[in-house]
Every structure is written in structure tokens, then in C-alpha cells.
Amino acid sequence: MVTRQSSPVRVLLVEDDRTTAKSIVALLRRDPALAVTGSVSNTADAEKILASTTVDVVLFDLVLQRVERSQKITALKKLAPNATFLVLTAYEEPDRVFRALCAGADGYLLKSDRTLPLTTAIAQALQYGSSFSPEVAHTIARYFHKIGQDCRKAGVEELSTREGEILRLLTQGFTNKEIAERQNVSLGAVKKNIKSICHKLQATNRTHAAVRSRLWPRWI
């Protein structure tokens, strides 16, 4: 359940299956801390809402009208730069996951996930900046391991041992708070290390750093 704020968290759902959309909207409306701003079936309608309405969270079905729309995330984020974008999909193939993350998604959730309730995932993303279904976190880790040394790029600044350990935990889906607890350091220290990691990997945020961490296969 999302922690109650002074005003409800405004959620936009982009889902083309009517039955699925209806179920998700009903689920969201059961949480008093959430307000469904809209439910649309295509990115054109999503753009109209984001251009005229403030939205806190966008739940985005990756495949709309049988076509993957990951590239649309970038355009939508320009309309709502402060919103948290969470992919909510049935697909967990590594290539789809990374295309979505590279496009700017802040998290990747599977509709089939029974271990991470949707409202909990939204709360995690709002508090920590990202949220991933466990299966997706495992997919990311396996993908990084498979890529191995082939993805290393010459001239990238070396990570420290601590940064490498934090990066490994980050790719496994741990939040900043959980990383701090596992590393026995302060939350501020974790954030400082992630900032350094992003700088060295030329990443814009922790999610982008996770994607680019394939440059450092020994840590994952």
C-alpha cells in the first residue's frame, strides 16, 4: 500500500487490453493514497493527458496493439519529467527489459508477479526511485553475466571495490536502503557511491547505471 500523502498519488495507466485495464484500475482505486488520473489504450492519448495534467506515476504496457512501444517512453518522459515511469507487462525477455530501461523506464514489473503487489511496487518506486519484479532482477543479473568481457569498453574509469559491490547489488534490484544495510554504511554513503558510479559509467541515473554495468561483468 502506498503511504498516504497530503494529496493522492496521481496514476496514469497505458494499457490496450480493456479487461486488464479495468482490473488494474479497480485495484488502484482500492488504495486511498492513489488517484487514477486516466486509463488510455495508446500513446497518443497518453501524450494528451501528460501535456495537460500533472501525473506522478505512469504505468506503461510495453506492447500496445501488438507492437513494442519502448521507444515511446522517452517522448512521454519529456512531457512529464518528474513522473515515475513503470513498465507493466507480460514480457520479461532481456532485450525488451533493456530497451525499456534505456528509453527511461524507472522500473519493470510483470503482470504475472504474485510476490510484489502493484501498489507496493508503486510505493517502492516513489520512495527509492525504481522497482523491479524479482524475475526481472534475475533476468538482468543473468544477462549481465552472459555478456561478460565482450561488453567492456576501453577508457572507462575503474570502479572502486565498494562501488563494484554496490553496483552488483543495484543490478539485483536492491533499494538504496537495502544496499546500505547489507554494506553496513549510511544511506548517504550509498547515494554518494551511486553518484560516482553514474559519473564513471556515464549514466544519468541508477537505472541507467544498472544497464551500463555490463561494462563491469566481474561485479555481477
Expressed as residue numbers, the domain containing 18 is 9-132
Is residue 170 domain-shared with residue 114, that is, in the same domain?
no
pLDDT at residue 5 greater than cutoff 60: no
At 121 the pLDDT is 94
144 and 111: one domain?
no
Distance CA(116)–CA(118), nearest Å, equals: 6
Domain count, the chain: 2
Q: CATH number of the domain at 13, please.
A: 3.40.50.2300
Radius of gyration of the chain (CA): 17
- What predicted TM-score, i.e. pTM, was given to this entire model? 0.67
Looking up residue 154, the CATH number of its domain turns out to be 1.10.10.10
Residues 74, 25, single domain; the answer is: yes
Please indicate, yes or no, if residue 4 is contained in any of the structural domains: no
CB contact at 8 A, 132 and 210? no
For residue 2, CA distances in Å to 28, 32, 119, 127 come to 10, 8, 6, 10
Sign of the Cα torsion 180, 139, 103, 167 reads: positive
Res. 12: pLDDT tops 90:
yes
151 in the same domain as 118 = no
Cell numbers for 23:
482490473
Q: What is the dihedral of CA 211, 214, 219, 220, to 10 degrees?
A: 70
User: What does 129-181 look like in DSSP terms, one character per residue?
Assistant: S-EE-HHHHHHHHHHHHHHGGGG--TTPPPPPHHHHHHHHHHHTT--HHHHHH
At 150, is the pLDDT very low, low, confident or very high (cuts 50, 70, 90)? very low
**pLDDT value of position 60:** 96
